[in-house]
Amino acid sequence: MTFCESLGSIRESCSGIGCCQTSIPSGLQVRTVMMSSYSNHTLIWDFNPCSYSFIVEEGQFTFSNRSFQELENTSRLPMVLNWAIGDEECDAAQKREDYACKGNSTCVSPVNLSGYFCQCLPGYEGNPYLPEGCHDIDECEISNRCSAGACINLPGNYSCVCPKGFKGDGMKTGTGTGCSKDNGSNLSKSIRLLIISLAVTIASLIFLVGGSWTYWGMKKNNYIKLREKYFKENGGMLLQQRPASRQGGLVETTKIFTAEELDKATGYYDDSRVLGEGGYGTVYKGILPDNEVVAIKKSKIGASIQSEQFINEVIVLSQVNHRNVVKLLGCCLETQVPLLVYEFITRGTLFYHLHNVKSKESSLSWELRLKIAAETAGALAYLHSSTSMPIIHRDVKTTNILLDENYTAKVSDFGASRLIPLDQAQITTLVQGTLGYLDPEYFHSNQLTEKSDVYSFGVVLVELLTRKVALSFTRPEEERNLANFFVCSVEQGRLTQILDDDIVTDRNLETLKRVANLASRCLRVKREERPSMKKTLAKHPRRTADFSPEDTEYLLGPPSMAYARGDSCSSTSITIGATSVYEGMQIEMLMRQGDGR
């Protein structure tokens, strides 16, 4: 923590006045840096409007009162990366299946550091961590290394051939004998060369014939092993073990597809079959042999966290059976990236129907919006209260609510979900979610509860009421975070000014106010003041036309509570500011990506 009140108070050292520093101990894998200002730099804005954090080699940065101006134009600072692979020495590492040193390379143990690294053999150069990464150096092109005759390049070496009538190794350095006049019989040399040539030819033929018999067998065996490897990496063993402990589990409800089946279903993942893309990967439209249309989610290559979310989603969805939760039909475990197969939802996402920029008017009436809200709430209440272990979705948003041909809501994307033991009301976990929907108390405390889903559901309600996106940096600063802006507008009596004009009528204005009241209660900063999904929506009828006064009162609460809120209407007390969330989450995501040395 640093303090700085004026430019004159800064000393020529990084000791806490305007600057602080710390050394990085050996073996550290992750380092998190959080930057904030108590007064948002207002007292020192003229000379220090920004905060900086960076890693730099010791002795390569000297702090002074000129550093603020210099750092504004500095994009790079030197640092030294000392690294090794694993914590085993070369003898043990060479026995492992994931041994990193490839062909024409050797293992080297670093000084004062556990693990190992790789380097190319003498006579080779390149990248020793890639297959065929170390390639031969052609010494004959570098310089004339032979005293006479011709230089012949060999794998990792070279040789010199003396001219006809001379003998020797032709070398002119080291222990080379050079070339001298050969007074022996040229005939005997020719015979020896002929015998050697015949021997090499016969050996090559035997090798080729024997290799042709074993090539296809080895290729087939390697393919089977590769599929088994992917099966284990994608959590196949874990998924096989879980159904044994519960009836009606994954084996009975989820089909295991082969890679060939899904290749054909998607036209080998043709671009024309893409339904959507995101940070998780790509969703394709697939057609199975029985003409059933499905959605196939393919994770990104090389993202290990996506494989973990894949396993998590299969485990969660294998325990869920609800009409408003998207149905998992199967999965594929034998490919490089995991694949999930879902029922195909024809009308796409709720986000598209609310915020489609190509259409000025939404296709969703107020009755449909209220129906979608009720069905979504019913699904969340089921996840929180009716499964064998409570499930917290952790990423409730309009892009994760799908609509079928009858505009029935389907909650989807359970990759970030968490199962909560029955004897616990909350769990501690790394913050994960989507900006604009993130529970502020969860963001600050890492304590995840079902009330975090309630907060996100409140944001969805506000989107249904206003047709505004949850977070937009194109809006004025006070309107960027929709939840913040909505609660302020309600408290200041400006609700009708931010409602979607397409749904406001004299007949439903009272219902709109009560839904706004429900949204405000869901968006309370303190989680204990938010209602639970089960308690609030247990009596919600399936059709909005079936509302009775008692049902409406139970669902939405009395009208007098519509603007009751204890905390003040400010960006710091109602929810997290959009900019601070963005910066904080960005730093955390960057720090979590590096897990090497």
From residue 240, give the alpha-carbon distance in Å to each of 342, 463, 592: 19, 41, 30
Class of residue 250 by CB neighbours under 10 A (exposed 0-12, middle 13-18, buried 19+): buried
Residue 395 is a catalytic residue: yes
| β-sheet bridge partners, residue 256 | 331
- The DSSP 8-state label assigned to residue 35 in this structure reads -
**Cβ atoms within 10 Å of 27's Cβ, excluding its own:** 9
> 509-522 vs 366-385: helix axis angle to the nearest 10?
30
Class of residue 199 by CB neighbours under 10 A (exposed 0-12, middle 13-18, buried 19+): exposed
Residues 6+ apart with CB under 8 A from 29: 594, 595, 596, 597
Q: Are 414 and 309 in contact (CB under 8 A)?
A: no
Place of tokens 């209220």: 370
- Pairing assessment for the beta strands 255-256 and 328-332 based on DSSP bridges: parallel
Q: How many Å apart are CA 361 and CA 354, to the nearest integer?
A: 9
300 is in an annotated binding site: no
**Cβ atoms within 10 Å of 382's Cβ, excluding its own:** 20
Place of tokens 């976990």: 429
Q: How many Å apart are CA 426 and CA 384, to the nearest integer?
A: 12
Q: How many Å apart are CA 124 and CA 156, to the nearest integer?
A: 6
The CA-CA-CA angle for residues 221, 224, 230, to 5°, reads: 140
- The DSSP 8-state label assigned to residue 473 in this structure reads T
Place of tokens 């199967």: 330
Residue-by-residue DSSP string for 223-238: HHHHHHHHHHHTTHHH
Q: How many Å apart are CA 531 and CA 523, to the nearest integer?
A: 10
* Tokens standing for residue 344: 């195909």
| β-sheet bridge partners, residue 532 | none
Helix, strand, coil in percent for the chain, rounding step 5: 40, 15, 50
- The DSSP 8-state label assigned to residue 3 in this structure reads B
Choosing from 395, 413, 439, 453, the catalytic residue is: 395
For residue 277, the surrounding DSSP H or E stretch is strand 274-278
- The DSSP 8-state label assigned to residue 67 in this structure reads H
Residues 6+ apart with CB under 8 A from 517: 490, 556, 557, 559, 561, 562, 563
Class of residue 242 by CB neighbours under 10 A (exposed 0-12, middle 13-18, buried 19+): middle
In this structure, which amino acid lies at residue 117? F
**Residue 159 in 3-state DSSP?**
strand
Binding-site annotation, residues: 298
Q: Enumerate the active-site residues.
A: 395
Binding-site annotation, residues for ATP: 298
